[in-house]
Structure 1
Amino acid sequence: MNIGFEAKRIFHNKTGLGNYSRDLIRLLSQYYPDNTYALYNPKKASQTLFETNNINVVEKKPQSLFYQKFYNLWRQKGVIKDLTKDGITIFHGLSGEIPSGLNQASIKSVVTIHDLIFVKFPNLYSFFDRKIHFYKFNKAAHQADVVIAISEQTKDDIVEFLKIDPEKIKVIYQGCHAIFKKEFTESDKKKVVSKYNLPKEFILNVGTIETRKNILIAVKTLHNIDTCLVIVGKETDYAIEVKSYIKKHNLEQKVIFLKGLTLEELAILYQQAKIFVYPSLYEGFGIPIIEALYSKTPVITTQGGVFPEAGGPNSVYIDPTNVIDLENAIQKLLVDKQLRKNMIEKGFEFVQKFNDENIARQVMNVYQELENE
C-alpha cells in the first residue's frame, strides 16, 4: 500500500502529538516494511526531530513556489494533487485534520483524534482558537472514512460533542517510545542524578506545567511529607502560580523544576523515581502514565475518566481536588515497600497491552479494511 500522512507534527512538534506521530511511523515501517509511508510536511523543519529512511519512509514537501509560500493552503487542499500523483490510496491525518477533497480524489481517509480538551475546558483556550479547533476536528471526523480515538474516553467525547456514529470510531491506544522500556545501568543513573543535583529519593511528575495538569495539588502535599517532588515539563503562566505558592510556603528545598532533558535522561528519571504522581484533571489518554509503568515506577493518578484505561487495575486513584487524599496515597506508598513492589510487577504486566506490535497491527488492520472495501 501507498499510505500518506499529514506530517506537520512529525517534523515540527516536540511533545505529545509529535511523539505519537513519529512513534506510529516507526512502528508501521518496522512491522509492515512492504508498504510505502509518505510524510507530507508543509515546510522545512528548523531542527531535526525525525529522519526518514528513504526506503519505505519518505518526506514530501510542496513543490511549487506558491505552495512553498502558502504552505497552510497546501496542507488544507493543495496537497491532494500530490497525493494523486504519488499514487496514495489511504491518507491518515495524525492529529485531528485531513485536507479537503480526499473523497473526490478516491483516496480513503483516517483521522486520529487525541482529545477534545478545547470543548471540555474552554477556559483554557481563546474564543478564536476554540472555533478553529472545533471546525477542523468536526470537519475531519465527518469526512474521514474512519476515526481513530486514542481512548474510550476520547471516543465518548467524539460521539457526544462531534455527533459521530460510534461504529465509525476505532479505539487504538498509544504506546510510548522504546527508550522507556530500556534498563539503564547504575552508572547511567548516577550521571543523571549528579548532572541535575537530584536527591537520593524523589517523586516525579512529567507534563506541561499548566492548569489542567493540576500539579499544585502535589506541591501542597509536601507540607507534611518528607520527600522531594521533581517536576519535568514546559512552563506556562500556571507555573508562576505554582512557584509563587512554593516560595510563600518555603518549599523551595522540596521542589525541583527541570526542562530540556534528553529522552534518555527522562527515561532514567522515571526509573529513579519512587512514585510517579499525575493528578491531571483531564487527558485524552495520558502517555506519561504508560511511560512510568514501563519504567517500573508505581503510579498515583486521577480517579475516573481516561486514567484507569492507562493506569490499569493496580495503580492508585485519587480525587484530584483533595490534597489529603493525594497526601495519604503518597505517604502510604513511600512507607510500604511491599505495596510498591506489587504495583510495579502488576503494572508492568498490564502495560504490555500497549506494546509496539499490538498497536501497529491494529492500525494496519484499519488500513487493510479500507483498502479492501
Structure 2
Amino acid sequence: MKLAVDIHHLLLENAGTKRVTVNLLEQLKKATEINLLEFKPEYTLKQKAGIIGKIQSHFIRLFWVQIHLPYLCWINKVDILLSPEFNTPLFTTCKRAVIVHDAHMRAQRKYTSSLWFYFYYIPFVEFAIRHANLIFTVSNFAKTQIVRFMRLNEKKVQVVYNGLDKSFLNINGINKEDIKLPEGLISNNYILFVGTFETRKNIERLIQAFSKVKQSNPATDHIKLAIAGGSSASKFSDRSNQISSLIGQLNLGNEIVLCGYIADIDLPHLYQNSLLIAFPSLYEGFGLPIIEGFASCVPVLTSNICSMPEIAGDAAVLADPYDINDLAEKIEKIIFDPVLRSELIAAGNKRLRFFSWEKSAAQITHSLTQLL
C-alpha cells in the first residue's frame, strides 16, 4: 500500500496536533505493509502580518491542500492519502482518510472568524471531510460531535485514541535537581497549565480560581501558577493581552509565570516538577495534558464535560470548568490531601495503558488496508 501523509501543518503548528502527527508517523514507518510518502510544500505557509498577509496565507494553504497535494498524489500513484489535521482535498485520484480531532469550529462557533468559517471551513473543509472514504477521530465524545455537526455517516468514523508522546516515556529516571525550570519556578511549588491561549482553554477562570486559593489559604503563599503555551503566535496576541490584563487586575504579577512556548524536549521536565496539572478546558476532543500528567506522576485536575471524563477515567479530579469556586476548591484539595495525591498518581499510571501509539497506529494501518 502506497500511503501519502500530508504534513504541511508541521510547518505551522507548535500545538498538540503537531506532536500527534510526529508520533503517528514514527509508528506508521514501522509497518511493513506501508510504503510511506510524506508530502509538504517547499514554499512558506506561515502567516504574514496584517489582514493582507492573513488572506494571502489562507490562499496559499488552500492552493496546497486543494491543488498541489492532489497533483502529488496523482503523479506518485498514491493508493491512500492520510490527512492528520482536518484539512483534506475535495477531490483526489486516490482514496482519502482524514483525522478530525474535534468539532470545536462548530460547537464553539462564536469564537471562529465568520469570514474564515463561511468562505473556507464550510465549502472546503467540511465538504471534503464528508466525502472522505474514512474518518478517524480521537474519542467517543469527538465522534458524537463530528457526526452531529458535520452530518457524517457514522459508519465511516472510527475512534482511535491518541498515544503518549515518546518524550514522556523516559522521564522518571531524570534527577529533578538537574533540570532547569523557567525563571520564577521552583520544583513542586507550581500548578501547571499547558495549552494554547484559545478562549476554550478557559485560562481566565483558572487564574480567577488560583486567585481565590491564594486569598483563602496562607499556606499557598509559595505556590505559583505556570501557564505554558504558544502565547507568541500572532493569532493569540489579543488573548495574551487579555490574560495579562486579568493578571494585573488581580495583583498576581508575581504569582503567575507566563512561560510561553516550551520545546518538546523540555516539556516533560516542566510537567514532572509541577505540583499538579490543571486543565479546565471548556471543549476538547481528547486533551493530551491529561495523559501527559499521568505519565509525569503528577495529580491531574480537569473538566467534568466533553471528552475529559472519558480520557481521565477515575484517575483525575473532575471539576465544573464554568464554576470558579468549584475549581478553587478542587485545586486546594489536591494540593493539601496527600492520600488523594497518591491515589491519583497510582490511578494515572494504570490509566496510561489505554493510550499507546503502537496500538493506535496498528488500528489505523488495519483500517487503511481495508480501503483497498
TM-score (structure 2 length as normaliser): 0.86
Residue 46 to residue 210, structure 1, CA distance change in 2 (3 Å): closer
- SS of the aligned residue for 1:203 comes to strand
Q: Which residue of 2 aligns with 1:38?
A: 37
Aligned match of 2:96: 109
2:84 aligned with 1:97: no
Verify the 8 A CA contact 1:3 1:35 in the aligned structure 2.
yes
Q: Does 1:198 align with 2:197?
A: no
| Matching residue within 176, 180, 183 for 2:168 | 180
1:18 paired with 2:13, answer no
Q: How does 1:180-329 map to 2 (within 5 A)?
A: 180-184=168-172, 187=175, 189-193=177-181, 196-200=183-187, 201-221=189-209, 222-225=211-214, 226=220, 227-235=223-231, 236=236, 237-329=238-330
Q: Deviations over 1:220-256 (max 9, x none)?
A: 2233331211110122222322222222222222211
Superposed displacement of residue 33, structure 1: 4.2
How far residue 280 of structure 1 moved from its aligned partner, in angstroms, is 0.8
Provide the secondary structure at the position in 1 that maps to 2:327: helix
Q: Aligned partners of 1:70, 1:15: CA distance in 2, in Å?
A: 21
Report the more deviating stretch, 241-250 or 204-213. Answer: 241-250
With over 3 angstroms needed to count, the CA separation of the structure-2 counterparts of 1:81 and 1:330, relative to structure 1, is closer
Question: Could you tell me which residue of structure 1 aligns to residue 109 of structure 2?
Answer: 122
In structure 1, the residue matched to 2:4 is 4
CA contact (8 A) 1:111 1:141 kept: yes
Query: Residues 224, 341 of structure 1: CA spacing in aligned structure 2 closer, same or farther, 3 A cutoff?
Result: same
Amino acid in the other structure paired with 2:146: I
Q: Could you say which residue in structure 1 is the equivalent of 2:65?
A: 75
CA distance in 2, matches of 1:71, 1:156: 28
CA root-mean-square deviation: 2.2
Shift of 1:187: 4.3
Alignment equivalent of 1:137, drawn from 125, 134, 140: 125
Q: Show the counterpart of 2:55.
A: none
Provide the C-alpha distance between the structure 2 equivalents of 1:254 and 1:326, rounded to a whole number of angstroms: 18
Aligned residues: 345
Match of 2:50 in 1: none
Give the deviation of 1:186 after TM superposition. 5.3
**CA 1:302–1:87: 2 relative to 1, 3 Å:** same
CA distance in 2, matches of 1:81, 1:250: 55
Work out whether residues 90 and 127 of structure 2, in 8 Å CA contact, stay in contact via their aligned partners in 1.
no
Aligned equivalent of 2:341: 340
Is the CA contact 1:151–1:306 (under 8 Å) kept in the aligned structure 2? yes
The change in CA–CA distance for 1:198 and 1:285 in structure 2 (over 3 A counts) is same
Q: Report if the CA contact (8 A) 1:12-1:45 is conserved.
A: no
Partner of 1:66: none
Cα distance in 2 for partners of 1:28, 1:10 equals 16
In the aligned structure 2, how far is the partner of 1:197 from the partner of 1:244? 19
Does 2:153 align with 1:146? no
Cα distance change of structure 1 residues 71 and 166 upon mapping to structure 2, 3 Å threshold: closer
Contact map agreement 2:229 2:262 (CA 8 A) in 1: no
Q: State the secondary structure of the residue aligned to 1:229.
A: strand
Structure 1 position 45, deviation (Å): 6.0
CA distance in 2, matches of 1:298, 1:258: 20
The alpha-carbon distance between structure 1 residues 90 and 231, as it changes in their structure 2 partners (threshold 3 A), is: same
Q: Is the 8 A contact 1:108 1:370 kept in 2?
A: yes
* Aligned-residue offset at 1:12: 3.3
Decide whether the 8 Å contact of 1:110 with 1:148 is kept in 2. yes
C-alpha displacement at 1:92, in angstroms? 0.9
What is the Cα deviation at residue 109 of structure 1? Answer: 1.5
Structure 1: gaps of 5 or more residues: 48-68
Q: Distance in 1 between matches of 2:177 and 2:157?
A: 42
Q: Sort the Cα spacing of 1:174 and 1:186 in 2 relative to 1 into closer, same or farther, 3 A.
A: closer
Q: Identical aligned pairs, as a percentage?
A: 25
- Higher RCO by CA contacts (8 Å cutoff, separation 6 or greater): 2
**Displacement of 1:203:** 0.9
CA distance in structure 2 between the aligned counterparts of 1:14 and 1:93, rounded to whole angstroms = 17
Per the alignment, residue 29 of structure 2 pairs with 29
Question: How far off its partner does 1:70 sit?
Answer: 6.6
Change (3 A) 1:135 1:309: farther
Residues 12 and 244 of structure 1: CA distance in aligned 2, closer, same or farther (over 3 Å):
closer
Shift of 1:74: 4.6
**Counterpart of 1:230 in structure 2: which amino acid?**
A
2-structure distance, mates of 1:353, 1:253: 39
Which residue identity lines up with residue 281 of structure 2 in the other structure?
Answer: S
Q: Secondary structure at the match of 1:262?
A: coil
Structure 2: distance between partners of 1:233 and 1:320: 19
